[in-house]
């Protein structure tokens, strides 16, 4: 039985924004990133140059001496990656919000190492308070991954695959969807020759206030006030944007229903 | 002609979150808040206690010596308030995002003093970088309100009523609507016994990243990746929430259309 409590050497499968941010954080925490594999060779080389590690030519020929293989690839590729890996004594863990731990069952020691955060090209994310959600095929794996996550963040927790899926779904509602609404606002203002910059203090305060007030108590705006005049004016202004108008209508209806029925 | 460039004495009509935050900021900047009127007397007294000013019993009997009357009341009440005020030499300005400057045309010197921010009960907002949008019935009024806003914020601009309405509409998309999505996420997690706290670092990063990257480039998530497997799983998980499911579907369709057509 390898001593998992001292994960030191890590290999990465995948070289995207998530992999890059994790690798930088792990390196800073004193871990050794030894190798990376990606089907996109130029992407893998970029990662390897930044992190100063080697590039594996094939999944099958990856270095089998690592303590951990972090698999940060699209969800529909995880199972295939797991099956293509050679035999090793270390842990194989994926970083997905939605894939079950079972997708890596082909590896003897397997787990999940899921950071709940959005990783965007060109932005280095501070991992110190990012929640890390852990699963493992046995207690040794769970503990090893917990200790490792604890070197990156003060917010580490073991949960089930089911709970993780719910967190992932909730994350879409608080991150991907709000970002789409930001881009709608940008479109509306651009048309008027007004800059998106004007909205930034409001966006920051909207995010900041739910740190101290629950979202339901923090709700403001015309729909919350049931202010039909303003709602009608806004819908009129959106006539040139039928898609945005539909979305405005649906969300406003839901807010009115939630607070006034 | 009163010397508007030296606004010193201010009266408030309205005593809600916006009025309270503005009054605190103005007081800190050295202005004198002399009086408040609100149809809700206990609310007006709370405001008066906090700010240390008098309460007017009626709009008609309000002190006519102020340099500025800041009208922070529901939009459909602005015009009535303007007409009920006694004659004075000062400026009457409303703080609304959507009402035209004309709604105060009954006052000789009138204008708009609109801070683009969300004000919630119990949260004191730092006004230093909040954009203030100014309109005025003439250049004297415009300059006076600009100078005043400049004492609160480094971000002051003159715009038209039409542009202001567009900013207000955009603000709903980046603040009120995202907050509703936060409350949906809270509902989903509560059902699983998971805390909303886990989402806070993600919410903060989602807001922070559009300070340096445009929302269109910052878009991530299953719909952005056109990841049908995840989209289907999420829709399945939302079966018990038909309203949230409808919203998930509509926003995801729009994201897919924007980035993949």
Q: What is the pLDDT of residue A123?
A: 85
Q: How far is A160 from chain B (nearest CA, A)?
A: 11
Q: What is the pLDDT of residue A70?
A: 98
B169, B176, B237 ranked by CB distance to A223: nearest: B176
Q: Is the pLDDT of residue B158 over 90?
A: yes
Strand partners, A68: A10, A91
Mean pLDDT of A160-185: 97
> What whole-number distance in Å separates Cα of residue B205 and Cα of residue B255?
20
- Percent share of chain A, pLDDT over 90: 93
Q: Per-residue confidence at A120, pLDDT binned at 50, 70, 90?
A: confident
Q: What is the pTM of this model?
A: 0.94
Per DSSP, B156 falls in state E
CB contact under 8 A, A200 and B210: yes
> What whole-number distance in Å separates Cα of residue A179 and Cα of residue A172?
10
Q: Is the pLDDT of residue A5 over 80?
A: no
Please write the tens of the pLDDT for every residue from B18-40: 999 999 999 999 999 999 999 99
CB contact under 8 A, B221 and A182: no
Q: Would an 8 Å CB–CB cutoff place B130 in contact with chain A? A: yes
Q: What are phi and psi of B134, to 5 degrees?
A: -115, 140
CA distances for A260 relative to A141, A218, B145, B178, angstroms: 49, 15, 37, 19
Specify the DSSP element, H or E, that contains B193: none
Q: What is the pLDDT of residue A2?
A: 55
Write out the DSSP string of A163-220.
HHHHHHHHHIIIIIHHHHHHHHHHHHHHHTT--GGGGHHHHHHHHHHTTTS-HHHH--
Which of chain B's residues have a Cβ under 8 Å away from the Cβ of A207? 203-204, 206-208
- Residue B50: burial class (beta carbons within 10 Å; 0-12, 13-18, 19+): middle
Q: In this predicted model, which residue has the larger pLDDT, B3 or B101?
A: B101
Q: What is the pLDDT of residue B122?
A: 81
For chain A, the average pLDDT equals 95
Provide CB contacts within 8 A for A119, sequence distance 6+.
A16, A17, A18, A20, A21, A125, B220
Please write the tens of the pLDDT for every residue from B45-91: 999 999 999 999 999 999 999 999 999 999 999 999 999 999 999 99
Q: Per-residue confidence at A261, pLDDT binned at 50, 70, 90?
A: confident
Least confident of A63-67, A120-124, B187-191: A120-124
Q: Is the pLDDT of residue A1 over 60?
A: no
Q: What is the pLDDT of residue B6?
A: 80
Q: Is the pLDDT of residue B1 over 70?
A: no
Residue of A nearest to B187 (CA): A170
Q: Is the pLDDT of residue B2 over 60?
A: no
CB atoms within 10 A of CB B8: 13
Note the ipTM here. 0.95
Q: Would an 8 Å CB–CB cutoff place B251 in contact with chain A? A: yes
Please write the tens of the pLDDT for every residue from B211-254: 999 999 999 999 999 999 999 999 999 999 999 999 999 999 99
CB contact under 8 A, B227 and A75: yes
Q: What is the pLDDT of residue B124?
A: 86
Q: Is the pLDDT of residue A62 over 80?
A: yes
Please write the tens of the pLDDT for every residue from B166-209: 999 999 999 999 999 999 999 999 998 999 999 999 999 999 99
Q: What is the pLDDT of residue A83?
A: 95
Mean pLDDT of A20-36: 97
Q: What is the pLDDT of residue B120?
A: 84
Q: Is the pLDDT of residue B5 over 80?
A: no
Chain A, window 158-217: residues with a beta carbon less than 8 angstroms from a chain B beta carbon: 159, 162-163, 165-186, 188-189, 191-192, 194, 196, 198-217
Which of chain B's residues have a Cβ under 8 Å away from the Cβ of A183? 214-216, 219, 258
B119, B198, B213 ranked by CB distance to A131: nearest: B198
> What whole-number distance in Å separates Cα of residue B149 and Cα of residue B93?
12
Q: Per-residue confidence at B121, pLDDT binned at 50, 70, 90?
A: confident
Per DSSP, B77 falls in state G
CB contact under 8 A, A169 and B209: no
Chain A, window 86-115: residues with a beta carbon less than 8 angstroms from a chain B beta carbon: 98
Please write the tens of the pLDDT for every residue from A140-162: 999 999 999 999 999 999 999 99
Mean pLDDT of A124-128: 91
Q: Would an 8 Å CB–CB cutoff place B77 in contact with chain A? A: no
Q: Is the pLDDT of residue B3 over 80?
A: no
Mean pLDDT of B93-118: 97
> What whole-number distance in Å separates Cα of residue A57 and Cα of residue A68?
18
CB atoms within 10 A of CB B260: 10
């Amino acid at each position: 039985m390898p001593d998992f409590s001292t994960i030191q050497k890590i290999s990465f499968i995948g070289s995207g924004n998530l992999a890059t941010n994790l690798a930088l954080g792990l390196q800073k925490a004193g871990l050794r990133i030894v190798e990376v594999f990606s089907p996109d060779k130029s992407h893998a080389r970029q990662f390897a140059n930044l992190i100063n590690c080697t590039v594996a030519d094939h999944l099958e020929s990856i270095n089998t001496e690592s303590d951990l293989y972090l698999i940060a690839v699209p969800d529909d590729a995880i199972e295939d990656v797991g099956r293509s890996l050679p035999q090793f004594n270390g842990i194989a863990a994926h970083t997905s919000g939605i894939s079950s731990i079972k997708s890596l069952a082909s590896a003897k020691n397997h787990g999940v190492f899921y950071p709940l955060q959005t990783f965007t090209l060109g932005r280095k994310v501070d991992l110190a308070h990012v929640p890390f959600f852990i699963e493992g095929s046995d207690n040794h794996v769970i503990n090893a991954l917990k200790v490792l996550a604890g070197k990156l963040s003060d917010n580490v927790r073991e949960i089930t695959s089911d709970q993780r899926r719910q967190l992932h779904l909730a994350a879409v509602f608080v991150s991907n969807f709000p970002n789409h609404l930001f881009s709608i606002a940008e479109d509306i203002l651009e048309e008027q020759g007004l800059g998106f910059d004007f909205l930034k203090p409001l966006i920051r305060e909207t995010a900041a206030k739910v740190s101290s007030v629950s979202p339901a108590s923090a709700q403001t705006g015309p729909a919350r006030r049931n202010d039909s005049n303003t709602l009608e004016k806004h819908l009129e202004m959106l006539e040139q944007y039928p898609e945005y108008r539909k979305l405005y209508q649906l969300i406003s209806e839901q807010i009115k229903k939630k607070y006034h029925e």
